[in-house]
Chain A
Amino acid sequence: MTTLKITKGEEKGKLQLEEQEPEMAAWGTDAALAVVGQRHPRLEAIEKVTGRAQYSSDVRLPRQLYATVLRSPHPHATVAAIDIAAAEVLPGVHAVICAENTEPIPWYHGSFVFDRTVRLIGDEVAAVAAESEEIAADALRLIEVTYEPLTHVVSMDAAQAPGAPKVRDEGNVAGEPKVYSRGDPDEGLRQAEVMIDRTYTTQSALHNSLEPHGCTAAWDGQTLTLWDSTQSIFTVREQVAQALGLPEHRVRVIKQHMGGGFGAKQISWKQDVIAALLAQRSGRPVQLMLDREAENLVVGNRPVSRQRVRLGATRDGTLTAIDADITQGIGAYMTGGEASNVSGMYQTLYRCDNVRTVQTPLYTNLNPGVAFRAPGHVEAAWALEQAMDELARELGIDPIELRLRNYSETEQLEEKPYTLPEGLRLSYERVREAFGWDTRERPAGEGRVRRGVGFAAHDWVGGSGSPPGYAWIELNADGTADVVTGTQDIGTGTRTGLAQVAAEELGLPLEDVSLHLGDTSTGPYSPVSSGSATQATLGPAIRAAAIEVRSQLLQIASTAMEIPVPRLSVRQGKVLVDGDERRSTPVKEIMRQVAPHTLHGQGARGANPTEKVARTFGAQIVELEVDTETGEVTVLRVVTAHDCGRIVNPTMVDSQVIGGITQGIGFALTEERVVDDRLGLVLNANMEEYKVPTIADVPPIEHAAVDVPDPEANPTGAKGIGEPPLVPTAPAIANAVFDAVGIRVLDAPISRHRLLDLLTTQREHAS
Chain B
Amino acid sequence: MRPFAYSRPETIEEAIALLDSDARLLAGGTDLLTLMKGDIVAPAHLVDLKRLPDLDDVIDLEEGTVSIGALSTLAQLETDPLIAMHLPALAQAAAVAATPQLRNMATIGGNVLQRPRCWYFRNDDVHCWLKGGEECFAREGDNRYHAVFGESRCVAVHPSDLASVLVAYGATVHYRDSGGVQQIGIEDFFSPPTEGRRTEHVLPAEAVITRVTVPMTADGARSRYVKAMDRKVWAFALAGAAAVVVVDEGVVRDARIVLSGVATVPWRARAAEQALIGATAGPEAFAQAAEIAAADAVPLAHNGYKVPLVTAMVRRALAEAGV
- Is there an interface contact between A760 and B305, defined as CB atoms closer than 8 Å? yes
**Nearest opposing residue in chain B for A73, CB measure:** B125
Q: Closest Cβ of chain B: how far from A690's Cβ, in Å?
A: 10
User: Across the interface, which residues of B come within 8 angstroms of A676, CB to CB?
Assistant: 120, 137, 141-142
Q: Closest Cβ of chain B: how far from A212's Cβ, in Å?
A: 15
The answer to the question of A753 belonging to the interface, with a C-beta cut-off of 8 Å to chain B, is yes
Bound: A669/B235 CA distance, A:
14
The interface bits of chain A over 46-73 (1 if a CB of B lies within 8 angstroms of the residue's CB, else 0) are 0000000000000000000000000001
The interface bits of chain B over 223-262 (1 if a CB of A lies within 8 angstroms of the residue's CB, else 0) are 0000010111111001000000000000000000000000
User: Across the interface, which residues of A come within 8 angstroms of B313, CB to CB?
Assistant: 630
- Is there an interface contact between A632 and B305, defined as CB atoms closer than 8 Å? no
- Is there an interface contact between B308 and A756, defined as CB atoms closer than 8 Å? yes
User: Across the interface, which residues of A come within 8 angstroms of B123, CB to CB?
Assistant: 681, 683
Bound: A121/B309 CA distance, A:
34
User: Across the interface, which residues of A come within 8 angstroms of B238, CB to CB?
Assistant: 752-753
The answer to the question of B117 belonging to the interface, with a C-beta cut-off of 8 Å to chain A, is yes
Bound: A674/B120 CA distance, A:
12
- Is there an interface contact between A670 and B126, defined as CB atoms closer than 8 Å? no
- Is there an interface contact between B144 and A753, defined as CB atoms closer than 8 Å? yes
User: Across the interface, which residues of B come within 8 angstroms of A684, CB to CB?
Assistant: 119
Pick from A121, A630, A631, A634 the residue with the most CB of B within 10 Å: A630
The answer to the question of B312 belonging to the interface, with a C-beta cut-off of 8 Å to chain A, is yes
Find B235's partner among A73, A630, A691, A760 (CB 8 Å cutoff). Answer: A691
Bound: A675/B302 CA distance, A:
13
The answer to the question of B3 belonging to the interface, with a C-beta cut-off of 8 Å to chain A, is yes
Stretch with Cβ within 8 A of B (4 or more), from A354-362, A512-520, A693-701, A710-718:
A693-701
Find A630's partner among B3, B145, B312 (CB 8 Å cutoff). Answer: B312
User: Across the interface, which residues of A come within 8 angstroms of B228, CB to CB?
Assistant: 630, 632, 752
- Is there an interface contact between A752 and B312, defined as CB atoms closer than 8 Å? no
In which size bucket is the chain A interface?
20 to 34
The answer to the question of B274 belonging to the interface, with a C-beta cut-off of 8 Å to chain A, is no
Contacting A at CB under 8 A, from B124-158, are 125-126, 137, 140-142, 144-145
- Is there an interface contact between A670 and B142, defined as CB atoms closer than 8 Å? no
The interface bits of chain A over 520-538 (1 if a CB of B lies within 8 angstroms of the residue's CB, else 0) are 0000000000000000000
Contacting A at CB under 8 A, from B266-306, are 302-305
The interface bits of chain A over 239-280 (1 if a CB of B lies within 8 angstroms of the residue's CB, else 0) are 000000000000000000000000000000000000000000
Find B3's partner among A138, A631, A759 (CB 8 Å cutoff). Answer: A138
Find A629's partner among B230, B303, B308 (CB 8 Å cutoff). Answer: B308
Q: Closest Cβ of chain A: how far from B133's Cβ, in Å?
A: 13
The answer to the question of B323 belonging to the interface, with a C-beta cut-off of 8 Å to chain A, is no
User: Across the interface, which residues of B come within 8 angstroms of A134, CB to CB?
Assistant: 1, 3
- Is there an interface contact between B142 and A694, defined as CB atoms closer than 8 Å? no
Pick from A681, A684, A691 the residue with the most CB of B within 10 Å: A681
Bound: A516/B152 CA distance, A:
62
Pick from B123, B230, B231 the residue with the most CB of A within 10 Å: B231
- Is there an interface contact between B308 and A678, defined as CB atoms closer than 8 Å? no
The answer to the question of A688 belonging to the interface, with a C-beta cut-off of 8 Å to chain B, is yes
The interface bits of chain A over 724-767 (1 if a CB of B lies within 8 angstroms of the residue's CB, else 0) are 00000000000000000000000000011100110110000000
Bound: A760/B233 CA distance, A:
25
**Nearest opposing residue in chain A for B226, CB measure:** A630
Bound: A121/B140 CA distance, A:
20
- Is there an interface contact between B233 and A756, defined as CB atoms closer than 8 Å? no
**Nearest opposing residue in chain B for A678, CB measure:** B141
Pick from B126, B140, B141, B232 the residue with the most CB of A within 10 Å: B232
Bound: A631/B137 CA distance, A:
27
The interface bits of chain B over 1-36 (1 if a CB of A lies within 8 angstroms of the residue's CB, else 0) are 111000000000000000000000000000000000
User: Across the interface, which residues of A come within 8 angstroms of B2, CB to CB?
Assistant: 138, 141
- Is there an interface contact between B308 and A760, defined as CB atoms closer than 8 Å? yes
Contacting B at CB under 8 A, from A125-177, are 134, 138, 141
Contacting B at CB under 8 A, from A652-695, are 669-670, 674-676, 678-679, 681, 683-684, 688-689, 691, 693-694
Q: Closest Cβ of chain A: how far from B242's Cβ, in Å?
A: 17
User: Across the interface, which residues of B come within 8 angstroms of A697, CB to CB?
Assistant: 231-233
- Is there an interface contact between A693 and B231, defined as CB atoms closer than 8 Å? yes
Bound: A684/B141 CA distance, A:
13
User: Across the interface, which residues of A come within 8 angstroms of B303, CB to CB?
Assistant: 753
Pick from B120, B125, B313, B315 the residue with the most CB of A within 10 Å: B125
- Is there an interface contact between A694 and B231, defined as CB atoms closer than 8 Å? yes
Bound: A689/B119 CA distance, A:
8
Pick from B126, B230, B235, B309 the residue with the most CB of A within 10 Å: B230
**Nearest opposing residue in chain B for A675, CB measure:** B142
**Nearest opposing residue in chain B for A72, CB measure:** B125
6 A-B pairs with CB atoms under 8 Å apart are A632-B228, A684-B119, A693-B231, A694-B232, A694-B234, A756-B305
Chain A residues engaging chain B, CB cutoff 8 angstroms: 73, 121, 134, 138, 141, 629-632, 634, 669-670, 674-676, 678-679, 681, 683-684, 688-689, 691, 693-694, 696-697, 751-753, 756-757, 759-760
Q: A676-B137, A688-B117 are in contact. List 18 more A-B contacts (CB 8 A).
A: A121-B125, A630-B312, A630-B313, A631-B309, A670-B230, A674-B144, A678-B140, A678-B141, A683-B119, A683-B123, A689-B145, A691-B231, A696-B232, A697-B232, A752-B230, A757-B304, A759-B308, A760-B308
